[in-house]
């Protein structure tokens, strides 16, 4: 996979670039929006990793301009922001995930891999096929509503990671803590799995 990393922090950007290169990814590095724009015109990427807060603008505006140019490259945002408006705007623009600073580079690696899962995932008595979007419980297809399916997909694909409430809110038709708790409770019952609430952080499906 070929990645474009936009991050103005020199130390962080070089650290992430080296880490991803060691994991087998091809990584181009941009330290500014202008540099990132030039690279997107010159190359085709499988994934963008964009910081949101930048001295001359933000990654959200950059992605918006790329979308206007019919560039549909999957994007993960790297951000210190926690407000829902910024996150909602990012997802509306087609972002597939975001990761909050500070973070362990290994978490970024897991998130990237989770977004490009191609084979069937297995968890206890569950099977999830990313291609057909089918979840099976003990071999039988489970009928989940749209909201519950989106949450289950995030938990299964990012098993072992704490998924923030803000990210899970994107799965809901109507955003509220109550709606999220109800959806999680129903999902635990239907799939017979233990989804843990990490107070103040989010939810996790722990690795076996």
Domains of the chain from N-terminus onward: 2-115 (3.40.50.2300), 121-205 (1.10.10.10)
CB atoms within 10 A of CB 151: 25
Report field, pTM of the whole predicted structure over 0.85? no
Residue 206 structure tokens: 């722990």
Q: Considering only CA atoms, which of 132, 131, 171, 127 is closest in space to residue 149? A: 171
Identify the pLDDT of residue 16. 92
Structure tokens of 14?
Answer: 């070089």
**What's the pLDDT tens digit per position in 91-124?**
888 788 888 888 888 888 888 877 776 678 889 9
pLDDT digits (tens, 9 = 90+) for 20-33: 998 888 999 999 99
Q: Are 147 and 170 in contact (CB under 8 A)?
A: no
Summarize the confidence of residues 173-199 as an average pLDDT.
92
Q: For 167, list phi and psi in degrees, rounded to 5.
A: -70, -40
Mean pLDDT of the chain: 88
Q: What is the DSSP letter of 83?
A: -
What's the average model confidence in pLDDT over 24-45? Answer: 93
Separation CA 102–CA 116 (nearest Å): 23
């Amino acid at each position: 996979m070929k990645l474009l990393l936009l991050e103005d922090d020199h130390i962080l950007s070089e650290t992430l670039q080296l880490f991803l290169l060691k994991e087998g990814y091809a990584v181009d590095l941009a330290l500014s929006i202008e540099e990132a724009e030039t690279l997107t015109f010159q190359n085709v990427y499988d994934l963008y990793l964009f910081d949101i807060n930048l001295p001359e603008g933000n990654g959200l505006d950059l992605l918006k301009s790329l979308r206007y140019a019919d560039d549909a490259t999957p994007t993960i945002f790297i951000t210190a922001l926690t407000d829902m408006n910024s996150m909602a705007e990012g997802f509306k623009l087609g972002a597939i995930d975001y990761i909050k600073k500070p973070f362990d580079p290994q978490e970024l690696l897991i998130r990237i891999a989770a977004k490009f899962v191609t084979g069937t995932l297995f968890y206890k008595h569950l099977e999830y096929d990313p291609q057909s979007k089918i979840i099976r419980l003990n071999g039988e297809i489970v009928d989940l509503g749209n909201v519950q399916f989106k949450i289950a997909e995030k938990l299964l694909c990012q098993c072992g990671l704490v998924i923030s409430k803000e990210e899970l809110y994107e799965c809901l038709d109507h955003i509220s803590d109550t709606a999220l708790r109800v959806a999680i409770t129903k999902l635990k019952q239907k799939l017979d799995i233990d989804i843990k609430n990490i107070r103040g952080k989010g939810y996790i499906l722990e690795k076996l």
